[in-house]
Amino acid sequence: MKELVRNFLDLLNFLQMLLPLLLLRTSGMLLRRRVFSGPLLLLLALLCLYYRTQKWSRSGSEGVPVETSSLISALEAPVQLLSQKPRYHQKAMVLMGQHLLSDTEVQLYLHVLQQMHFKVHMSRYVETSSFLKAQGGGGWSLLLCLSSSEQSCLRRISFSHLHQHQMVNLLPGLIGAFSDVGGGLCRFSARSQLTELDLPMKPHACGSANQKPHFPRDRSDGHFPSKAPLPVLVAMMNVYILVTSLTPLTSFLHDISVVMTNQDQYGQRMKIRDFLLQQLGPTASHESLGQIKKVIGVVLQAASANEKQESDVRCVLCFQLLTFSLVFNSSITPVVVQVDTKLTFKGLRDTFQRQITRDLILEDTLTILLRPPTHLSSETHLSLKKLMEQYGGCRGTNTVDFLLLFRFNQQLKTSCAFQLLYPTSPYPSPAPCDTSSLLLQISRYYQFPPNSRENG
């Protein structure tokens, strides 16, 4: 098939080369005969211009830019090195807090981690863990702090001094940004110069002081005036976000949501795409999904911009799960009305459904985070640095950035229910050569069809 396409393109190129000669000869004949010379000459000139334009368009869209392909090749090199090494057991620590060992969430972590060749240690809090005390600052690769042990982890774990291969399911900066400074006011909103008109989010959307959001009754309750054409949507939706880096920001959206419409007293679990398609149809649903990603991305960017972090010392593998509560008020564009720094399923009445939904999201989270290797040797870092300087075009990027880029590329390749939320852009505009622009290059690469990637 590829050979047939190439032959067809070669034929078009040949015709394009032949067309000026035909144009010259035909124009001479027409001028000699003086019959309809003006319109026919104009038509032939436009035809020639069309073929040239089509060629230029194809050359820009047939495949991936060369520098992007080279960057991806550089990031794939460590995978080949790691695949040649024997698999070893990494150590994971699960802090249960007040959970029982028999709880389904604890058992899920045990099962999935053991499948991924982790040796799992259990305790309740950092202060009571003999394993963490014996290991000192290192010796473990993964630390999972369940909800009732989070404060213990935030108090006792020095996130800025973790080793590069160590992963924790908390991002202190993000937790701080969405913390309640009084009356449900988000801390980052209080510090930010952005107004309610600038940010698609209610300012009092954080913390326990913020009660269950009111369901929209009519168009007058909207946060922004609706400019969207019909059909429009009146609904509440909980969506689940995985943030894998705060500075620079990288995040993913899970395809499961809990939705409630004005026809349903209780929420139901549905895939986001299915719900939007059912309510809005194919065209508007696609636009609405784009608006969901845009709105959440804007809020996350604002939150991350107001949280100062040390650029040279950070937990590159730490992550955070968030619940965003969205309201559609006669519009296809939502407004963020509540943000929780944990998974919440308030709309689901059935306890069993809540647990099943939680387990699905947690398992998908471990899949996208732990399938890529978390530990790269010094030799791998040097190899990656050399390749990126040679092909990626960026110098001065440190080892932490290499690991972030490497894992981001591997996460985009992992097949699971998470889809990229940020960074993403439909326009290939030039950008400065820094980590954020390299992340954007990687994300654009996977927006190309697979055959275009191969031809790039």
Query: pLDDT digits over 240-266, tens only?
Result: 999 999 989 999 999 999 999 888 878
Q: Is the pLDDT of residue 230 over 80?
A: no
Model confidence at 219, in pLDDT bands (50, 70, 90)? very low
Q: How many domains does the chain have?
A: 2
Q: Round to whole Å and give the CA distance between 42 and 171.
A: 64
**H/E/C letters for each residue in 88-109?**
CCEEEEEECCCCCCCCHHHHHH
Average pLDDT over residues 115-123: 93
pLDDT of residue 51: 42
Identify the domain boundary among 304, 337, 352. 352
Contact at 8 Å (CB) between 244 and 408? yes
Tokens of 311: 């650029």
pLDDT in tens, 339-390: 999 999 988 989 999 999 999 999 999 999 997 665 565 566 666 666 556 6
Q: Is the pLDDT of residue 310 over 80?
A: no
Q: Which residue has the higher pLDDT, 285 or 84?
A: 285
Model confidence at 189, in pLDDT bands (50, 70, 90)? confident
Q: First vs last Cα of the chain: how many Å apart? A: 17
Q: Is the pLDDT of residue 15 over 70?
A: no
Q: Round to whole Å and give the CA distance between 69 and 340.
A: 38
Question: Could you tell me if residue 160 is inside a domain?
Answer: no
pLDDT of residue 21: 47
Q: Round to whole Å and give the CA distance between 444 and 393.
A: 17
Residues 324, 329, 335, 338, CA torsion sign: negative
140-149, 273-282, 389-398, range with the lowest pLDDT: 389-398
Tokens of 94: 């699960």
Percent of the chain exceeding pLDDT 70 equals 67
Q: Is the pLDDT of residue 42 over 50?
A: no
Identify the domain boundary among 322, 352, 382. 352
Let me know whether 346 and 197 are in one domain. Answer: yes
Cβ contacts of 66 within 8 Å, gap of 6 or more: 456
Instruction: Report the Cα 67 to chain-centroid distance in Å.
Output: 22
Residue 183's CB: how many other CB atoms inside 10 A? Answer: 11
Tokens of 64: 């991936």
Q: Which residue has the higher pLDDT, 437 or 399?
A: 437
Question: Could you tell me if residue 413 is inside a domain?
Answer: no
Q: Is the pLDDT of residue 163 over 90?
A: no
pLDDT of residue 397: 62
Q: Is the pLDDT of residue 311 over 90?
A: no
Question: Could you tell me if residue 125 is inside a domain?
Answer: no
Question: Could you tell me if residue 232 is inside a domain?
Answer: yes
pLDDT of residue 283: 93
Identify the domain boundary among 352, 381, 400. 352
Question: Could you tell me if residue 346 is inside a domain?
Answer: yes
pLDDT of residue 392: 53
pLDDT of residue 306: 73
pLDDT of residue 60: 43
pLDDT of residue 57: 39
Question: Could you tell me if residue 36 is inside a domain?
Answer: yes
pLDDT in tens, 56-84: 334 344 567 777 888 888 788 766 655 55
Q: Round to whole Å and give the CA distance between 268 and 295.
A: 23
Supply the CATH number for residue 244's domain.
Answer: 3.30.470
* H-helix segments, 234-349: 272-280, 282-305
Model confidence at 214, in pLDDT bands (50, 70, 90)? low
Question: Could you tell me if residue 358 is inside a domain?
Answer: no
pLDDT of residue 213: 65
Contact at 8 Å (CB) between 344 and 213? no
Q: Which residue has the higher pLDDT, 47 or 425?
A: 425
Let me know whether 345 and 200 are in one domain. Answer: yes
Q: Scanning the structure block, which residue is given the tokens 């943000």?
A: 339
Q: Is the pLDDT of residue 220 over 80?
A: no
Q: Round to whole Å and give the CA distance between 139 and 230.
A: 57
Q: Round to whole Å and give the CA distance between 276 and 261.
A: 12
Query: Which residue segment(s) compose the domain that 315 sits in?
Result: 192-352
Model confidence at 408, in pLDDT bands (50, 70, 90)? very high
Question: Could you tell me if residue 283 is inside a domain?
Answer: yes
Beta strands, E only, 315-363: 320-331, 335-340
Residue 117's CB: how many other CB atoms inside 10 A? Answer: 11
pLDDT in tens, 150-162: 999 999 999 988 8
Whether a cis peptide bond, with omega within 30° of 0, leads into 65 is no
Q: Round to whole Å and give the CA distance between 222 and 92.
A: 46
